[in-house]
Structure 1
């Protein structure tokens, strides 16, 4: 009976621990150099897109999605990158997928600069396409249906605590992520994400962009079912044990 009770309790605890580990953060891409004219909004601040980071499974799953009016591109220089970020440890990529255009591919780089937001340890660049009769992604300029608008990948072996902001301060803020975009007018430039907002589970990084992780996660429905079932089995086992004692 003790063994059964211990197993049931262990299952419940494991279910709770698993549920608390999955956390999703959203980082809004809102900051640009006004001189780049990637937006007509004063100060270069606009809703360019969002970076979602999910730490489920012991890895980080990234989803960078641009809003309508902007596309990813292949920049013909070394200061613009499809996506860049900072991490304090080594990792491996998997599942790199570009969505919203043609069959684009991407190449990984390390130690890059993304003006005016400074240096980043890691970057992905949408590979150059062919601008001829048969256009293929990625191209430098505005190409709806050809250039992608979304990037997904998994950074294996990374945790949220391994990410850090750029050391360069721009507009009083440091960037978590940057993306290189082009708009319908053909204007191009890097846009940055300086703050994060909680999507599910835990709390956001300190001060909307400081260091340190958040609190515990919110259990998912399947995890709730496991915990409730475990509690029920625990109660039943205790009742049987009490009956046996007083019989």
Structure 2
């Protein structure tokens, strides 16, 4: 029998004693990326997921018959909300698509009522996801190490990145052939250049979900999208091949995703 969902309480989160210091160092690394790219491009860009492949407008429909443990927060009220979706690649610099990195999807939901964080304004709620089920680092401290490396190479050594990416794609394919995946390989350039409209996107980390704790996924279900799942884009001679493909694919068919929720049911097996 499935265990009941864990009830949210502040005590469920395991916080490292050095976490505040780590957060300050993360902000410093993000600032380094922002300052370097702004200087090189002559204008500001995002410190991560700088390159956009497409912005889509659509609707989110919330079913009226959700069970209580799923009818939480935004999803407690049936209805339809306008949404905007941005597809991106995770680097802080705007790279040619020959350097293949994990994809990101950000979804902004409009017209959301309810309690907000202190200082927050408006009536929107954001969901930020990547096309991998787990985060690239187990702890904030380990992610900081990855980010420092990213900051040092942001907008530098583009030719070297292309070579490394080609090698790591080969490593990814070899691991995939034996049913293994190493997140770090993908995050450093080994992610295959797959069609983003056919990808499943995950929150990768847990979030509070009303009275519970959950991870999220956005899964393509329209036949035209499912047909694109796993399809590799030919990027030869095309710096913006992914953007071109998304634009072409969205001219005719509608895209439909299913929003899925995985509730935490065992804090030992699903630690926060």
**TM (normalized to structure 1)?**
0.24
Q: Which has the larger radius of gyration?
A: 1
Structure in which a larger fraction of residues adopt strand: 1
Q: What TM-score results when the alignment is normalised by the length of structure 2?
A: 0.23
* Larger proportion of helix: 2
